[in-house]
Structure 1
Amino acid sequence: MANTTGIDRKQFLAGALALGTAGALMPSGQATAKQQTVTGSRGRGLRRHGVVYTVGEGGTPATAWSPSRMRADLRAIRDELHADTVEVTGDGVDRLTATAARAAELGLHVWLQPTLADVPERDILEHLAETGRFAERLRRQGASVGCEFWLFVPGTVPGATVLDRVENLLNGTFDPVKTQRRLDAFTKKAAALGRSVFHGNLGYAAAQDDEVDWHLFDIVGIDYYSYFPQPSSYIRELHGYQRWGKPVAITEFGTCAYKGAEKTAGMGWNVVDHTKSPEEIKGHLIRSEHTQATYVADLLEVFESMGLYGAMAFEFVTPDAPHRAHDPRHDLDMASYAITRTVEDRPFDPAPPWHWEPKEAFHVLARHYARCAH
């Protein structure tokens, strides 16, 4: 088992909210979200099969977003992974919109989810509005806009920075009632803003235990990281999200690549000692791409059997978590949810060139997505 702190992802992410217009999952000219629930695909498999693609500045210039790498990655997502949807997330309107535009050009549906952190609320809302205006221009091809609020909006959870807020959540040094009240207020404000700039169907992605007013939204979105030995338990839990009579989209799912990671309730990433230089894996974990691939395959079968609206595997690549095949202590890819492994051309170089290689989970998804495309 992973060396966690005793708190599971459901507690850690309580209140983790992602607002998004769901044009990606509901191209214009089609039925409304509510109509598609009534006449939708339940029992006929997922409607959308996707992957999360993160844009950002990266830990070094070498791992930062670049236009050329983005274009190559998106083509691989379409042609090698056989996905039809990409969830573009991160900060920086230029990066988000350039990636979304290229994905749309390639014929991919887009779930656009901005995450701007540690700035005043008005800046976060403006970032959301700018992205939403761009999403409106892409709507006929499929686009959406979103942001996680509990972590990125100062004042929701105590702490000056994202890391401070994470620590307070882990330590339990926050008031859940006040947190929920602040989240509710900001979510309503952001939902109203989203609807003012984007005229498609509005979606929302939440942590599993969030208390959400789903009347504000057209799509029920869940970041799903449960583990059960039997498929029937997943189905029973996921049925709870269908009671709203709206399409259900799995906006994140997956696990890390070591034995026992699937049982960590989404906290599998919490096995890296960031106080060491270079960073290293805690304990004596055993790398297992098979663990990750099996979990992904099992959840896909559940989602398909329930006819959920869409599912996005988390995530395509994590450049700042390199795989070091002959050095398990520093094999940070074990603590990554990526379906590809990042391989440095010169390990431990401060800014090494790198490339990605597909992991077992990539091949599982590719086979599944290719079958569903025909």
Structure 2
Amino acid sequence: MEKTKGISRAQFLAGAAALGATAAVLPSGVAQAAVGGGAGTVGPGSGSGSGSGSGGRRGLRHRGVVYTVGEGETPGTAWSAARMRRDIRVIRDELRADTVDVTGDGVERLTKTAAEAAERGLHVWLQPTLGDVPERDILEHLAECGRFAERLRRQGASVDFSVGCEFWLFVPGIVPGATVLDRVENLLNGTFDPVKMQRRLDRFTARAAALGRSVFHGRLSYAAAQDDQVDWRLFDVVGIDYYSYFRQPADYVRELRKYRRWGKPLAITEFGTCAYVGAPETAGMGWNVVDYDKDPEEIKGHLVRSEHTQAAYLVDLVRVFESMGLYAAMAFEFVTPDAPHRTDNPRYDLDLASYSITKAIKDRPNDPRSDWHWEPKEAFHALARQYGKACVAAQAQ
């Protein structure tokens, strides 16, 4: 397959902000109010099972982190196999995660990362997310990744395969617009037909699910936004990108229960927030604090950096997921190289708009080609403690 370049999460967020998407865009979900509809009303009723997929066991079955393999926006932040291998070892040995959600575009990057995670004994959640290319290319990309996931599974690795993420956003033809940013604008402007959109979405989701089944014979899933309508009968695991905020844990439990009505395991395919005071209360809009019209880009307003805020939110949610015995939860995300942290001037601390549990730091802050490294945030250490406790508890059983 000829290599095609998709849009990275950082590029998408930057463009959405530039379009003025001030109240309708989530880290993995755009204009949900415009899309309309409640969460997944197509499924086969409430189901009788608990949906935990844990066979009665307590706690999460899989605890992990999202690792995006798409190329960075600059030469200095492009994907590196050597860096990836180091990161995977850290995810296992220091973060104490047992799962890595390998996502992004590029078959070689995705498969190399998945193979490294499997070799290190991690559970692999492989999720290709190629976008802004013709459907046939997206499906071919999906099939290649699915065949590789099946080879890993047959070799004894623990693998789940997700056919993609929020197709209405990334797949041309479901919502009008040639690119993600065009589709974002049409969603925000209401220049689309929601009935036609849902029909096209259902058609492509069914095609992707059928193709996924044909090449992969383990557990199949899909990552949906919280209010997407999805026929979950097509999948073995319900996957939700979850960015709600409540003050009381019971409210999270109440909201999450609705995703169990299909009687299938529930995976939280993304959850997280940014590292400043008030970010969790934005319910997924925490990224929208950068003025991309400025050169260099800068943070809007006078935010107060608080890594503790991010860490506390993540731990609170993990505890909720543990209490419900969910199948999996993957924190978003391990590193965001195109949102570097700076201490010399808070206005240019783009890490404030990042959901990463590590902070990317350039050797030469003003040089796009500069090398960089990451350092753990409080969220990294907090998750490591939480995941470590679960490891100890599991070993004691």
> TM (normalized to structure 1)?
0.91
TM-aligned CA deviation for residue 321 of structure 1: 0.2
Change (3 A) 1:38 1:46: closer
The equivalent of 1:62 in structure 2 is: 76
TM-aligned CA deviation for residue 298 of structure 1: 0.7
1:126 and 2:123 correspond: no
Q: Which amino acid aligns with 2:31?
A: F
Whole-Å separation in 1 of the counterparts to 2:140 and 2:53: 36
What are the ranges of 5 or more consecutive residues in structure 2 without an aligned counterpart?
Answer: 1-16, 37-47, 393-397
Equivalent of residue 321 in structure 2, options 303, 306, 310: 303
TM-aligned CA deviation for residue 158 of structure 1: 1.5
Equivalent of residue 113 in structure 1, options 127, 132, 135: 127
The equivalent of 1:264 in structure 2 is: 282
Whole-Å separation in 2 of the counterparts to 1:351 and 1:173: 39
TM-aligned CA deviation for residue 89 of structure 1: 0.5
- Find the residue that maps to 1:221 and give its secondary structure: strand
- Find the residue that maps to 1:348 and give its secondary structure: coil
Say which is worse superposed, 158-167 or 131-140, in terms of deviation: 158-167
Change (3 A) 1:141 1:35: farther
Equivalent of residue 155 in structure 1, options 152, 173, 178: 173
Whole-Å separation in 2 of the counterparts to 1:260 and 1:38: 31
- Could you report, residue by residue, the CA deviation over 1:9-58 in whole angstroms, capped at 9, with x for unpaired residues? 36625779xxxxxxxxxxxxxxxxx9995873557110100000000121
TM-aligned CA deviation for residue 169 of structure 1: 2.4
1:240 and 2:258 correspond: yes
Equivalent of residue 365 in structure 1, options 372, 380, 383: 383
Say which is worse superposed, 176-185 or 88-97, in terms of deviation: 176-185
TM-aligned CA deviation for residue 274 of structure 1: 1.5
1:294 and 2:312 correspond: yes
- Could you report, residue by residue, the CA deviation over 1:227-262 in whole angstroms, capped at 9, with x for unpaired residues? 011111100001111111111110000001111110
1:93 and 2:107 correspond: yes
Q: Which amino acid aligns with 1:227?
A: Y
The equivalent of 1:12 in structure 2 is: 31
The equivalent of 2:45 in structure 1 is: none
1:142 and 2:158 correspond: yes
TM-aligned CA deviation for residue 216 of structure 1: 0.7
Change (3 A) 1:158 1:314: same
Change (3 A) 1:60 1:246: same
Whole-Å separation in 2 of the counterparts to 1:244 and 1:316: 30
- Could you report, residue by residue, the CA deviation over 1:105-126 in whole angstroms, capped at 9, with x for unpaired residues? 0001111111111111101100
The answer to whether the 8 Å contact 2:21/2:188 transfers is no
- Could you report, residue by residue, the CA deviation over 1:255-290 in whole angstroms, capped at 9, with x for unpaired residues? 011111101121211221212211111222211111
The equivalent of 1:102 in structure 2 is: 116
- Find the residue that maps to 1:151 and give its secondary structure: helix
Whole-Å separation in 1 of the counterparts to 2:104 and 2:301: 31
Q: Which amino acid aligns with 2:357?
A: I
Whole-Å separation in 2 of the counterparts to 1:151 and 1:39: 29
TM-aligned CA deviation for residue 159 of structure 1: 1.3
Whole-Å separation in 1 of the counterparts to 2:52 and 2:265: 9
1:173 and 2:187 correspond: no
Change (3 A) 1:38 1:104: closer
Structure 1 stretches (4+) deviating beyond 6 angstroms? none
**How many residues of Structure 1 are paired with residues of Structure 2 in the alignment?**
356
TM-aligned CA deviation for residue 4 of structure 1: 6.6
RMSD: 2.1
- Could you report, residue by residue, the CA deviation over 1:318-356 in whole angstroms, capped at 9, with x for unpaired residues? 000000122111110000000000011111112111110
Change (3 A) 1:50 1:39: closer
TM-aligned CA deviation for residue 145 of structure 1: 3.9
The answer to whether the 8 Å contact 1:157/1:165 transfers is yes
Whole-Å separation in 2 of the counterparts to 1:221 and 1:39: 13
> TM (normalized to structure 2)?
0.86
Say which is worse superposed, 288-297 or 139-148, in terms of deviation: 139-148
- Could you report, residue by residue, the CA deviation over 1:169-192 in whole angstroms, capped at 9, with x for unpaired residues? 233332222211111000001100
1:47 and 2:96 correspond: no
Change (3 A) 1:359 1:131: same
Equivalent of residue 353 in structure 1, options 349, 364, 371: 371
Say which is worse superposed, 316-325 or 283-292, in terms of deviation: 283-292
- Find the residue that maps to 2:336 and give its secondary structure: coil
The answer to whether the 8 Å contact 2:61/2:328 transfers is yes
Change (3 A) 1:362 1:141: same
The answer to whether the 8 Å contact 1:55/1:65 transfers is yes
